[in-house]
Amino acid sequence: MVDYQYKGPVLFIDDEMHIRLSAKQTLELAGFDVVCLESAEDALKQLEQGWPGIVISDIKMPSMDGIMFMEKAHEIDKDIPIILITGHGDVTMAVQAMRDGAYDFIEKPFPSELLTDVAGRAMEKLALIRENKELRAKLKNQSGIAENLLGKSQPIEQLRKLIGNIANTDTDVLIMGETGTGKEMVARCLHENSSRHNAHFVAVNCGAMPETIFESELFGYEPGAFPNNPNRRIGKIEYSSGGTLFLDEIETLPMSMQVKLLRVLQERSIERLGSNTVIPLNLRILAATKTDLLSEVQKGNFREDLYYRLSVVVVSTPPLRKWKEDIPLLFQHFAEEASTRFSRDCPAIREGQTQSLITHNWPGNVRELKNAAERYVLNDGQSPLAQTQEPLEEENQSLAHKVEAFEKGLIMQALEQSNGSIKEAMELLDIPRKTLSDKCKKYEIDKADFQQK
């Protein structure tokens, strides 16, 4: 039996006394605090906003049935996990109820182990929701850094601390990290928590701007600088004076522009195209890259002097696979955001779905996780990972499938710890090389996915 850490109160509702007594004994032996009630009306009197427990209710009861009870209970607090008990003929109704917000359903007759397992998972789900709410409430009283960079793992704590140390300075910063790790969010945190926060934050995606207009966009121009152009344009560098200029994908900056940007960094001034007037700037530059700029310097693709000018301080955004312990919390946060934005209910996250979220390697990092949460809400609680979409009725997998999923997760975890080294992974798992190779082939695991780029 799994020992679930969070065990709040359980309301068990059934109009049959022998079922109530049996369930009470089973749940209390598993360590739950149980209150048994005969009617849904009595149960509603026990509930209030923020009630710290779960409800297990029969569907067919006199006066108010379990479906109606669930609707009224969720009017009091939509986060209360409700498990429905069904007869054989009520399964279709129960599946629809899950789509409408029930956490799970148990079909009669049910073994005691199933009852305690579903109750335990519902408690863990509730604990996650409460933790999410408490964390966000705590972050509201902290700086904007903590509000934007959600998480409790060591890599995120270190990132928040570093941002806090350098935010209210004028030093230029190079932000390095994989795609989707939140480099622009870090840049905005640096700006918003500095004395420059009331001035402009100007973001330029160097990779998306055609080289032919790069100079005019960044430096601006005077009337007559181009044929048939009588207008003056303030460039993005000048517009950001007093605030922050954020240059994303700096590695794509053309070599000709690298020379001119270097001069801006050195002189803190510009000349508009078509002008000889030097315009002084009060400027802070933040640059972001998803590549190893020193490697690009060695290849001759990036100027060494510009690299050292930009990298006065280097901030590294960790890939999501390095802080997987925060994935359930982040996913719940993004799912709740999506449910609000799309005016949809936020479906309960099932145990198998949580496991798949944690074992997934997330090559797209936080951006991919956010997309998965939105897809999860829009698909009414179907599997958030596109490659593992399954009908809701198939979520209750067989023991063999669960064992395979667990085994796959252990192998992926070992490869993650060993940075894709088969030798180290087989030592961690204490299995022969051939066995590990066969299982990697069976589960379509590629060691290259875990090797540091």
Domains of the chain: 9-138 (3.40.50.2300), 144-318 (3.40.50.300), 321-450 (1.10.8.60)
CA dihedral 386, 390, 391, 394 (to 10 degrees): -150
Q: How far apart are CA 177 and CA 316, in angstroms?
A: 6
Q: How far apart are CA 433 and CA 438, in angstroms?
A: 9
What number is the average pLDDT over the span 383-396?
Answer: 49
- Does residue 290 have a pLDDT over 90? yes
- Does residue 200 have a pLDDT over 60? yes
- Does residue 107 have a pLDDT over 80? yes
Note the pLDDT tens digit of each residue in 220-251: 999 888 887 778 889 999 999 999 999 999 99
What is residue 453's predicted lDDT score, i.e. its pLDDT? 46
What is residue 137's predicted lDDT score, i.e. its pLDDT? 60
What is residue 295's predicted lDDT score, i.e. its pLDDT? 92
At CA 247, angle to CA 244 and CA 248, rounded to 5? 130
Token digits of residue 406: 């667990």
What number is the average pLDDT over the span 18-32?
Answer: 92
What is residue 212's predicted lDDT score, i.e. its pLDDT? 80
The pLDDT confidence band at residue 152, using thresholds 50, 70 and 90, is confident
What is residue 449's predicted lDDT score, i.e. its pLDDT? 67
Side by side, the strands of the sheet bearing 313-316 are: 201-205, 244-248, 284-289, 173-176, 313-316
Q: How far apart are CA 32 and CA 17, in angstroms?
A: 19
Q: Length of the chain, please?
A: 453
The pLDDT confidence band at residue 20, using thresholds 50, 70 and 90, is very high
Q: How far apart are CA 124 and CA 118, in angstroms?
A: 10
Q: How far apart are CA 276 and CA 291, in angstroms?
A: 36
Token digits of residue 405: 């999923």
Note the pLDDT tens digit of each residue in 304-354: 999 999 999 999 999 998 888 888 888 888 888 888 888 887 887 766 677
Residue 223: phi, psi to the nearest 5? -55, 135
How many Å is the Cα radius of gyration of the chain? 28
Q: What is the largest CA-CA distance in the chain?
A: 93
Q: Are 175 and 186 in contact (CB under 8 A)?
A: yes
What number is the average pLDDT over the span 352-360?
Answer: 80
Q: Are 327 and 384 in contact (CB under 8 A)?
A: no
At CA 254, angle to CA 248 and CA 256, rounded to 5? 130
What number is the average pLDDT over the span 112-136?
Answer: 82
What is residue 199's predicted lDDT score, i.e. its pLDDT? 94
Note the pLDDT tens digit of each residue in 45-58: 999 888 889 999 99
Q: Are 197 and 190 in contact (CB under 8 A)?
A: no
Q: How far apart are CA 402 and CA 384, in angstroms?
A: 18
- Does residue 136 have a pLDDT over 70? no
What number is the average pLDDT over the span 247-265?
Answer: 93
What is residue 408's predicted lDDT score, i.e. its pLDDT? 77
What is residue 390's predicted lDDT score, i.e. its pLDDT? 39
What is residue 145's predicted lDDT score, i.e. its pLDDT? 65
The pLDDT confidence band at residue 88, using thresholds 50, 70 and 90, is low
